[in-house]
Amino acid sequence: MAQDKHNRMSTGISGMDDMLKGGLIAGRPYVVAGTTGSGKTTFSIQFLQQGVRQGERALFVSIDEPPSELRENVRFLGWDVGKIRILDVHPTAKAYNRKDSLVEVGAQRSVGSLREARQDARAEAMKQVSPDLSPQSLQMMLRQELQEVRYSRVVIDSITSLKRLSGGDDDVDMGIMSLLRFLSESNVTCILITDMPDPTSMEPETLMARGMIRFHKLMVASKAERFVTIEKFRGSAHDTQPRPMNITRNGIIVDSHKKVPKSILKIMQAVPSWDARI
Ligand SMILES: Nc1ncnc2c1ncn2[C@@H]1O[C@H](COP(=O)(O)OP(=O)(O)O)[C@@H](O)[C@H]1O
Ligand SMILES: [Mg+2]
């Protein structure tokens, strides 16, 4: 076998490293996708922990959950995140509670559907509470962080929330592209977490990322059936099969030698969602 010319980064999950033929290629951005509760945050923390274990610097940019909650969740897993730097860019809880004024703002702007109005109004309200959060401002924050410390692993949780908070402007896409470019130039191995509700849309992070890992969760008879797929990995061979995984007290465990039962894949195919594409 030809020697791998890339510098590989272990994800901290041996089954996942097997699927990636040795790990992620260092210094590049990746997207980690999946529905809520599928294991994206857990995976990301394991990825950062692995870096810390190897003497690297690791940074977690928290947008979706307050750092206190993150620390608590991880403590439950029995991990110490003391050495991971957590950058809190989470807007205040106040924004989420202002439902009445949210609809009002939308109505004033006479946006078509109520759903759109709500989304639009929510973005507006979020901006009022957290006026500084945008891809551009995050890039500035990260530039400062990276000037002080040479982080080699960075996670942004999540890019979906970052976009939502930045409103629906055209330059959000430009901002995301610029952010990804900046991270690549900084030689950071970066994980961008996304819910990606619409699989047909070509989001800039999906286009620009050098790889994409998706976590799947399916409730069968009150039990969560979990599996993982690698949907893209530039510059490397990778496992193209869905592989079963579990979330245990030791974190995510991927069984790269096992196949996902056909019965599970069949149920997935019946579900009208992105998972039906497997
Ligand atoms: N200690 C644990 N033991 C078993 N399962 C856990 C444990 N901690 C978290 N989980 C599972 O992991 C899921 C959370 O995964 P998370 O990484 O937060 O998902 P996401 O970020 O994709 O929303 C929970 O829904 C729960 O089922
Ligand atoms: Mg999460």
pLDDT digits 0-9 by tens, 120-166: 665 555 555 445 688 999 999 999 999 999 999 999 999 999 998 88
**40 C-alpha to ligand 2 centroid (Å):** 6
- In short, whether 36's Cβ falls inside 6 Å of ligand 1 is yes
- In short, whether 34's Cβ falls inside 6 Å of ligand 1 is yes
Minimum CA distance residue for ligand 1 atom 12 = 39
Kindly report the average pLDDT of the chain as a whole number: 82
Tell me whether the omega of the peptide bond preceding residue 134 falls within 30 degrees of 0, making it cis: no
Cα distance between residue 23 and residue 115, in whole Å: 41
Number of domains in the chain: 1
Dump strand ranges (E) for the chain: 8-9, 24-25, 29-34, 58-62, 84-88, 153-157, 189-194, 211-220, 223-233, 243-248, 251-254
- In short, whether 226's Cβ falls inside 6 Å of ligand 1 is no
Mutate to test the pocket of ligand 1, among 40, 247, 252, 274 (most ligand atoms within 8 A of CB): 247
Say what the pTM is: 0.84
Mutate to test the pocket of ligand 1, among 31, 42, 48, 155 (most ligand atoms within 8 A of CB): 42
**36 C-alpha to ligand 2 centroid (Å):** 7
Residue 105 belongs to some domain of the structure: no
Residue 60 belongs to some domain of the structure: yes
Is residue 78's pLDDT more than 80?
A: no
- In short, whether 40's Cβ falls inside 6 Å of ligand 1 is yes
Lowest mean pLDDT, pick from 60-74, 75-89, 95-109? 95-109
Q: Which range marks the domain in which residue 167 is found? A: 8-91+130-277
pLDDT confidence of residue 125: 56
CATH of the domain at 260: 3.40.50.300
Q: What percent of the chain has pLDDT over 70?
A: 77
Nearest 5 degrees, angle CA 195-CA 165-CA 36? 20
- In short, whether 37's Cβ falls inside 6 Å of ligand 1 is yes
Percent helix, strand, coil in the chain, to 5, is 40, 20, 35
Which atom of ligand 1 has the smallest separation from the CA of 43? 17
**201 C-alpha to ligand 2 centroid (Å):** 21
In this structure, are residues 119 and 154 in contact, taking their beta carbons and an 8 Å threshold? no
pLDDT confidence of residue 90: 67
Residue 61 belongs to some domain of the structure: yes
> Phi and psi at residue 187, in whole multiples of 5°?
65, 35
Find the radius of gyration of the CA atoms of the chain. Answer: 19
pLDDT confidence of residue 72: 82
Residue 36 belongs to some domain of the structure: yes
Residue 102 belongs to some domain of the structure: no
Residue 63 belongs to some domain of the structure: yes
